């Protein structure tokens, strides 16, 4: 699986939008972009995923660059509960392939939210 | 809706002891995974399964074994515990490799 690059840490204020960047310059055409987050002392939690088009769900939005070499996770109004480590992960999904959606976690971005 | 249930939540083992970490999911997911997370690090894949009777190694399989006799259960076996296996273990499941659901983890200490 191709690798991703994320900033080690970011800070935000409560109720402000947060844009978490991720670079994945070696992404292949079959790679999905996944975002997970891990709150302190908990297991990772699915946030969002996408392939080519921007995606929205109740938790966040995912903006994918036209060349797919980067993406941005957008939290529209940060809350204290959003303080977590955010992981950007690529995974190829091929029904006949071998990745089976295996996720390779990097170090992620530690998001601190200030009251 | 329980999701992914892991037991036990905490365990202390002595070097050389064996134990099984239990994982059960009630979402009828075909894919299941075991990860470990060392302090301050990301998760590393130990083993995964794409269906009952099918398992394969991940990035760090040494010292572990798995089995998948049913869709719901995916136990992880440590045969001879070593201090290097001190970690937090997470089980996860997914439908087609998207939208993983993780368990709450098992914190294992080997002394």
Chain A touched by B89 (CB under 8 Å): no
Residues of A in contact with B106 (CB under 8 A): none
Chain B touched by A39 (CB under 8 Å): no
Percentage of chain B with pLDDT > 90?
Answer: 86
Question: What confidence score (pLDDT) does residue B15 get?
Answer: 97
pLDDT at A106 over 90: no
Helix, coil or strand: residue B34 = strand
Percentage of chain B with pLDDT > 70?
Answer: 99
Q: What is the pLDDT of residues A8-42, one digit of tens each?
A: 999 999 999 999 999 999 998 888 899 999 998 89
CA-based end-to-end distance of chain B: 36
Q: What is the pLDDT of residues A39-66, one digit of tens each?
A: 988 999 999 999 899 999 998 999 999 9
Chain B touched by A110 (CB under 8 Å): no
Mutate to test the interface with A, among B5, B100, B103 (most CBs of A within 10 A): B100
Q: What gap in Å lies between CA A63 and CA A50, rounded to an integer? A: 9
């Amino acid at each position: 699986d191709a690798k991703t690059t994320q900033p080690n840490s970011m800070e935000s204020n409560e109720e402000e939008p947060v844009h978490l960047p991720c670079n994945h310059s070696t992404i292949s055409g079959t790679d999905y972009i996944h975002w997970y987050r891990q709150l302190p002392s908990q297991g990772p939690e699915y946030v969002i995923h996408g392939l080519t088009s921007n995606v929205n769900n109740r938790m966040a939005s995912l903006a994918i660059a036209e060349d797919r070499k980067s993406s941005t996770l957008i939290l529209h109004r940060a809350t204290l509960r959003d303080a977590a480590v955010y992981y950007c992960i690529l995974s190829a999904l091929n029904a006949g392939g071998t990745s089976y959606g295996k996720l390779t976690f990097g170090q992620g971005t530690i998001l601190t939210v200030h009251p | 809706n329980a999701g992914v249930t892991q037991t036990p939540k905490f365990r202390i083992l002595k070097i050389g002891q064996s134990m099984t970490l239990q994982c059960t999911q009630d979402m009828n997911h075909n894919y299941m995974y075991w990860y470990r997370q060392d302090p301050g690090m990301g998760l590393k894949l130990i083993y995964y399964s794409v269906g009952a009777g099918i398992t394969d190694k991940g990035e760090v399989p040494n010292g572990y074994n798995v089995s998948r006799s049913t869709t719901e259960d995916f136990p992880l076996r440590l045969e001879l515990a070593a201090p290097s296996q001190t970690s937090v273990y997470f089980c996860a499941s997914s439908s087609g490799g998207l939208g993983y659901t993780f368990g709450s983890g098992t914190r294992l200490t080997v002394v």
